């Protein structure tokens, strides 16, 4: 049992207190303690030849480091700050016992726990491709950088340095990476933040040091932009020009299949990959009284017995789907890619070609979804607009029952399609459908 201190507690452990402890060594191996007056639990343990800084709580001694009389003021203060941090953790563990596990857990171990929980909770509704992409972000960028760190040792400064370093690592692997590696840096910080948020829910940590509130992400393309009427007219002119070249057996920057896929994305406002490019043709109900594409797993899930959601199609969208050529091995795909049996992966590059040819500034493909949402205002009811985009209707009755009103939604989809085609110059004003 350690002896009681031989002198009163000190206001703060500093270099002078350390030197005084070496001048008055303990007379036995049990030693004595020099406590701080404040209730920080930080103290010195003085023995015959050794002086340690650490934390004493409930009679249990938790050392941080051995001290030396030759240390500088900065070194002593650094070790004292480390002891104060340990004291805060130990105090928190009294109210949150799970923090003890978090103290011994590394970032790599947290990754395993987080991914296991994600697969268990959402594996049935998440794409294997998405889960694999998450694992790749951890394997390539997060684990090598901070995987060996224990959770309490990860700081905000480390997370900020991480987002600065990742673009360089991305460009070293892929010199032509999109956004100079900044998008991947954002994705890595998002993954780290999600894992730490999971640890916070499990009470393994007391805060999320990689949250967007503490660590800013790189600014991405302004996806809130949308095409105005002049923009749609310019895009429509380019699409018609490319299609006319192909009809005359002339060369065009994009294939007819890609042009038709872009038109469907414009007319429907879909999430262009998960709700269009990667769908199967047997999900398309083209001859049904309510033409639609059934997505069994989508970001716009709003409950229901079967999950997923419907993409309602207007007449021109149906024509585009029917007109797409599907070579041997790709007959089952809605939008085939260049490789047999593989769908068209994305429209980003094709959309960039159209914008460049139209003299418009660079915008992400998501612009088409924002444009659909913006230009459908005043054309259809707000509740129909929300449902066509896979969002939740505002009134409760619409949230519960509107998904059963297929005919109304099909007519709404056709009205928006006609309006967008008019803006693009594909329809004359007198050809537009009258609202019912």
pLDDT tens-digit map of 108-166? 999 999 999 999 888 776 778 888 999 999 999 999 999 999 998 899 999 999 999 99
Q: What is the pLDDT of residue 103?
A: 82
The average pLDDT across 232-240 equals 95
Across 95-104, 229-238, 376-385, 396-405, the highest mean pLDDT is recorded for 229-238
Quote the pLDDT of residue 266. Answer: 95
Residue 347 predicted with pLDDT over 60: yes
pLDDT of residue 189: 95
Q: Chain-wide mean pLDDT for the chain?
A: 85
Top pLDDT among 218 and 224 is at: 218
Rg (CA), the chain: 31
**Of 220, 219, 200, 218, which is closest to residue 208 (Cα–Cα)?**
200
Of the ranges 61-75, 232-246, 337-351, 397-411, which one carries the lowest mean pLDDT score?
397-411
Q: Identify any residues that bridge with 44 across adjacent strands, giving them in sequence order.
A: 34, 53
What pLDDT score was predicted for residue 26? 87
Q: Which residue has the tokens 């694999």?
A: 132
pLDDT at 30 (0 to 100): 79
pLDDT at 39: 66
| Residue 119 neighbours by CB under 8 Å, 6+ apart | 131
* pLDDT of the residue at 428: 73
- Mind listing the pLDDT tens digit for each residue in 252-292? 999 999 999 999 999 999 988 888 998 999 999 999 888 99
Predicted pLDDT of residue 8: 72
pLDDT bucket at 431, cuts 50 / 70 / 90: low
- In this model, does residue 354 exceed pLDDT 80? yes
Residue with tokens 């205002």: 377
pLDDT surpasses 80 at 220: no
């Amino acid at each position: 049992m350690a002896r009681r201190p031989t002198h009163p507690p000190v206001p703060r452990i500093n270099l002078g207190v350390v030197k005084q402890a070496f001048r008055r060594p303990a007379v036995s191996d049990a030693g004595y303690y020099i406590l701080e007056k404040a209730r920080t639990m930080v103290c010195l343990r003085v023995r015959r030849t050794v002086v340690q800084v650490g934390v004493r709580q409930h009679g249990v001694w938790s050392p941080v480091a051995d001290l030396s009389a030759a240390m500088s003021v900065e070194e002593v203060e650094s070790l004292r700050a480390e002891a104060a941090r340990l004291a805060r953790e130990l105090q928190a563990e009294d109210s949150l016992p799970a923090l003890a596990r978090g103290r011994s857990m590394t970032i790599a171990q947290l990754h395993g726990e987080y991914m296991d929980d994600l697969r268990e909770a959402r594996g049935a509704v998440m794409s294997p491709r998405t889960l694999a992409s998450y694992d790749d972000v951890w394997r390539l960028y997060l684990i090598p950088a901070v995987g060996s760190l224990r959770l309490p040792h990860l700081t905000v400064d480390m997370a900020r340095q991480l987002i600065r370093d990742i673009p360089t690592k991305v460009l070293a692997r892929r010199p032509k990476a999109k956004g100079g590696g900044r998008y991947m840096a954002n994705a890595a910080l998002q993954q780290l933040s999600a894992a730490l948020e999971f640890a916070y829910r499990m009470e393994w940590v007391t805060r999320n040091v990689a949250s967007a509130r503490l660590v800013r992400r790189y600014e991405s393309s302004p996806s809130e932009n949308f095409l105005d009427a002049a923009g749609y007219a310019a895009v429509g002119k380019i699409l018609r020009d490319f299609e006319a070249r192909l009809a005359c057996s002339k060369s065009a920057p994009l294939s007819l299949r890609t042009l038709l896929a872009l038109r469907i994305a414009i007319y429907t406002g879909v999430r262009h990959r998960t709700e269009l490019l990667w769908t199967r043709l047997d999900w398309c109900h083209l001859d049904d009284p309510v033409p639609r594409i059934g997505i069994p797993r989508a970001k716009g899930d709003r409950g229901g017995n079967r999950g997923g959601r419907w993409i309602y199609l207007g007449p021109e969208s149906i024509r585009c789907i029917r007109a797409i050529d599907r070579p041997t091995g790709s007959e089952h795909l809605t939008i085939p890619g260049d490789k047999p049996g593989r769908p068209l992966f994305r429209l980003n590059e094709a959309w960039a070609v159209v914008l460049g040819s139209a003299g418009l500034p660079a915008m992400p493909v998501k612009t088409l979804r924002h444009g659909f949402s913006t230009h459908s205002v005043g054309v259809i009811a707000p509740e129909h607009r929300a449902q066509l985009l896979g969002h939740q209707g505002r009134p409760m009755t619409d949230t519960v029952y509107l998904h059963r009103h297929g005919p109304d939604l099909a007519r709404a989809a056709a009205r928006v399609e006609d309006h967008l085609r008019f803006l693009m110059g594909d329809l004359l004003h007198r050809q537009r459908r009258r609202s019912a």
